[in-house]
Amino acid sequence: MLSLFSLTPEILLKAYMAGIFPMAESADDRKLFWVDPERRGILPLDGFHIPRRLARVMRQGRFEVRVDHDFADTLSACAEATEKRPNTWINGEIVRLYNALHKQGFAHSVECWSEDSLVGGLYGVSIGSAFFGESMFSRATDASKVALVHLVALMRLAGYRLLDMQFLTPHLSQFGAVEVSRAQYRRLLAEALRYRCVFPRGLGDGSGGVGAAGGGFGALQPSKVTS
């Protein structure tokens, strides 16, 4: 168990490179603990599936998708208690550390906006050619899913090799996420850390944002679309 303020962003980066990450028991807990799952959830970038209904949502362009436009609010939204998720593992120490990583250029957010309101998104850590997904949230139907589609598009654009989702869930399985053993994950991680990728600010529009939600879907073709 780690006491408050015992971690630095530099230690956290080394932990990710060693295959472990921190969590809190709850948002109210002041301490953190290291997690090293025996089975790790990953999302193979070349096996990404877009459900048919979500593909229609993407083509409709319901959201404006931005990268790193408001990382702090995205992180705070991921930490919020909701009816479906009354408590989270994101405490004040997590907020402090990942905001610091963002300022150093290692943590990034992909955000869905509607009429200048942040309605969904995700955040994670980028090291080498690996992206470690941390958490996501939705205040509008499908917003976090749209953000995930754009994350994969951005990673493929930049040549990333590993998308670590930490744990496999039914929600992630629909996109093609799978479980691998700890040993296999360590091999994939070591390979991904051999390469350096720069997390892109958008899908080629040069504006610092991704743009309409349909753009991420187009960038993923010919990814599999499933029912």
Look at residue 220 in the predicted model and tell me its pLDDT: 57
Q: Is 50 exceeded by the pLDDT of residue 223?
A: no
AA letter at 194: R
Minimum mean pLDDT range among 79-83, 118-122, 155-159, 223-227:
223-227
Look at residue 208 in the predicted model and tell me its pLDDT: 43
**Per-residue confidence at 4, pLDDT binned at 50, 70, 90?**
very low
Q: What is the pLDDT of residues 145-194, one digit of tens each?
A: 999 999 999 999 999 999 999 999 998 999 999 999 999 999 999 999 99
Average pLDDT across the chain, whole number: 88
Q: Are 94 and 38 in contact (CB under 8 A)?
A: no
**Per-residue confidence at 219, pLDDT binned at 50, 70, 90?**
low
Pick the more confident residue, 118 or 215.
Answer: 118
Q: What is the pLDDT of residues 90-101, one digit of tens each?
A: 999 999 999 999
Q: Is 50 exceeded by the pLDDT of residue 127?
A: yes
**Per-residue confidence at 225, pLDDT binned at 50, 70, 90?**
very low
Average pLDDT over residues 130-151: 96
Percent share of the chain, pLDDT over 90: 76
Q: What is the pLDDT of residues 31-80, one digit of tens each?
A: 899 999 999 999 999 999 999 999 999 999 999 999 999 999 999 999 98
Average pLDDT over residues 202-213: 53
Average pLDDT over residues 8-15: 96
**Per-residue confidence at 81, pLDDT binned at 50, 70, 90?**
confident
Mutual orientation of helices 92-103 and 9-18 as an angle, nearest 10°? 90
CA–CA gap between residue 179 and residue 96 (Å, rounded) = 30
> Mind spelling out the 3-state secondary structure of the chain?
CECCCCCCHHHHHHHHHHCCEEECCCCCCCCEEEECCCEEEECCHHHCEEEHHHHHHHHHCCCEEEECCCHHHHHHHHHCCCCCCCCCCCCHHHHHHHHHHHHCCCEEEEEEEECCEEEEEEEEEEECCEEEEEEEEECCCCHHHHHHHHHHHHHHHHCCCEEEEECCCHHHHCCCCEEEEHHHHHHHHHHHCCCCCCCCCCCCCCCCEEEECHHHHHHCCCCEEEC
Question: How many Å separate Cα 221 from the centre of its chain?
Answer: 20
If one counts every other C-beta atom within 10 angstroms of the C-beta of residue 214, the result is 18
